[in-house]
Amino acid sequence: MYLAASCACFPDLSLDAALSKLVDLEFTRIEIQIHEKEGRLKPSEVAADPDRAIMFCRQTRRLTPIAYSVDIDAEEDEYYRQFAAICLLAKATKVVTLIVPSSNLGTPFNAEVERLQKLVDIATNEGVVVAVKTERGRISEDPDTITVLCDHVKGLGIALDPSHFHYGVHAGRSFDHILKYAYHVYLRDTNKENFQVRVGQGDIEYGRLVNMLTQVKYNRALSIDFQPLPEVDQMAEMRKIRLLLDSLL
């Protein structure tokens, strides 16, 4: 396992400025968002100008990109065309993991299986893996449903976000049985009342989580995804969680 940080930890900064902050915090690996809405790089831009996208993702101040978070706003054939372009970008920049959201609750299960299978098939052709993010309000919010999804879609993994099982409708649900599907892990601190709290004020048992991931031979990123809190020093909180996780690895 190794530490990484999401560029989304500094949402109000340019990518270059966010990278500078992460270098100051002594991170060496990063996750970059490729989102049509609120993304520093958009999927439509990747498809329209792949060479520019490659150059953009290589300008990382010697930080190593280890994953792309992907959120595509297009539909049908254009959706898969843009995803294929991002797979080529990942291959060119030596990124293995693409993280995608699952569909909203209410989407027919068979339709979701078909969509994810297409994504996995496209990614596999370029040597890339797909991880569906565990997230409230989506099909992937329920650990048992995640198990069925991963069992149906060969090669699909998850981007585990434990916060969603400490806050909200699934607070208190065990997620130990889905750790074996993890391709990526997000970390922040969370309690039953708040999705994110200051480091040390939440219920996330980092040591137990690291031990459980070790047992399933997880050897990928622990990606810090800590959003700025009002009147809280973001750099201090990021440094605190990095040092805490460093001490466990």
Task: Write out pLDDT tens, residues 68-124.
Answer: 999 999 998 999 999 999 999 999 999 999 999 999 999 999 999 999 999 999 999
Other Cβ atoms within 10 Å of 106 Cβ, number:
7
Give the mean pLDDT of 151-174.
91
Report in angstroms the alpha-carbon separations of 93 from 35, 107, 110: 18, 33, 33
Residue 72 and residue 60: Cα distance in Å, rounded?
Answer: 23
Tokens representing 61? 């101040």
Pinpoint the alpha helices (H) of the chain: 15-24, 43-48, 50-58, 76-92, 109-125, 143-152, 206-215, 234-248
Query: Bridge partners of 69?
Result: 33, 99
Tokens representing 188? 């922040």
Local structure of 18: helix, strand or coil: helix
* Tens digits of residue pLDDT in 233-243: 999 999 999 99
Q: How confident is the model at residue 247 (pLDDT cuts 50, 70, 90)?
A: very high
pLDDT above 70 covers what percent of the chain? 100
Architecture of domain 2-248: Alpha-Beta Barrel (3.20)
Query: Bridge partners of 34?
Result: 41, 70
* Residue 34 φ/ψ, nearest 5 degrees: -115, 85
Give the mean pLDDT of 157-172.
89
Q: How confident is the model at residue 127 (pLDDT cuts 50, 70, 90)?
A: very high
**pLDDT higher than 80, residue 169:** no
List, as own/partner pairs, every contact residues 230-237 make where C-beta atoms lie below 8 angstroms and the sequence separation is at least 24, other chains included. 232/198, 234/9, 234/10, 235/21, 235/24, 235/25, 237/198, 237/199
User: Is the Cβ–Cβ distance between 30 and 247 less than 8 Å?
Assistant: no
The alpha carbon of 27 is separated from its chain's Cα centroid by a whole number of angstroms, namely 17
pLDDT at 55: 94
Domain ranges for the chain: 2-248
Indicate whether this model's pTM tops 0.85.
yes
**pLDDT higher than 90, residue 221:** yes
